[in-house]
Amino acid sequence: MNYQFCNFSVREKEALGNIFNVSFKMNTDGYNELFAAYDDFQSYYYNNEPKKGRSRYQLMAREAFLPQTKDEKFSVKYKDSVQYQIGIDLPVLINPAENVTHKGTIFFVAEDPLRPPPTEVEKNKFNRKNDIVLSTPFGVHLEKECREKRLKVYWQVFEKLLDDGYSIYATDIYKIWMKQIGSRSKEKIPNDLIEAFKNSLQEEVNWLTPSLVVCYGNRAFDAANHLSLKTENILFPHPSGSANGKWKRDMGKADDQFKKDYIYSKIKKTIN
């Protein structure tokens, strides 16, 4: 199907810019790089390749996209591109094909933009000016690596809902994932920044007025329970392989087909 991937209008770009401004101090370069990254992700989604001279993941200058926090220690780490790796996933809005009757928006939310350890190639790209690694939730702009392979269940659920006429919006509670290179654990987000992220999430909900909020993971569900919602929110374990133990304990099965059917059927029962 010819889904419409992040085909933002001028007003939608303004809404996204305002959402990010709740959590980040974003200068003009940051705003321009934000939507340049969306353009590249669009190109990768439609053509399975980036624009000339760009790559599947985008890098952004930290100075152009600073978190709204008074925690000086966290801010120093955030600016340290030698020791600390940062990931930010840009929210995506995918609309059904133009010939499909639109029924509403399903709002998917997860915890944070998890990143694997940097490869040697990625390490060589990091520098003091240009090293926030931008991607999309569940890597939905990447066909062969994510939509068809390791994160395919996320996409298969999206596809079924898009074919039914629902738009898909995917985002994270915590807009930043930061980890010291070589460490096993990610950095703790300061409380004031957590509040800013929750406010951003509320702005996202206010903008889209979704038909349903779908939460992957307990932290996403807890955050949704503290939002002002005009609809229901439901909880699922992540459908990735890392949560297979949870699926087996709670639902008795953990194969991909079962997960896809289970999530889709529960969503449909909730919104019908």
pLDDT string in tens for the chain (272-residue length) = 689 999 999 999 999 999 999 999 998 888 888 998 898 888 888 887 655 545 566 788 888 899 999 999 999 999 998 889 898 989 999 999 998 999 999 999 998 776 655 555 555 554 434 578 888 888 888 766 666 667 889 999 999 999 999 999 999 999 999 989 888 889 999 999 999 999 999 999 999 999 999 999 999 999 999 899 888 999 999 998 888 999 999 999 999 999 999 999 999 999 98
Q: Tokens representing 119? A: 């490869």
Q: Tokens representing 120? A: 């040697």
Cβ atoms of residues 80 and 96 within 8 Å = no
Which residues does 211 contact at the CB level (< 8 Å), separation at least 6? 103, 104, 105, 106, 166, 231, 271
Which residues does 179 contact at the CB level (< 8 Å), separation at least 6? 84, 85, 115, 185, 186, 187
Total structural domains within the chain: 1
Q: What's the distance, CA 232 to chain centroid?
A: 20
Distance CA 88, CA 172 (A): 9
Global confidence as pTM = 0.91
In angstroms and rounded to an integer, the radius of gyration of the C-alpha atoms of the chain is 18
Distance CA 256, CA 238 (A): 11
Structural domain harbouring 38: 4-271
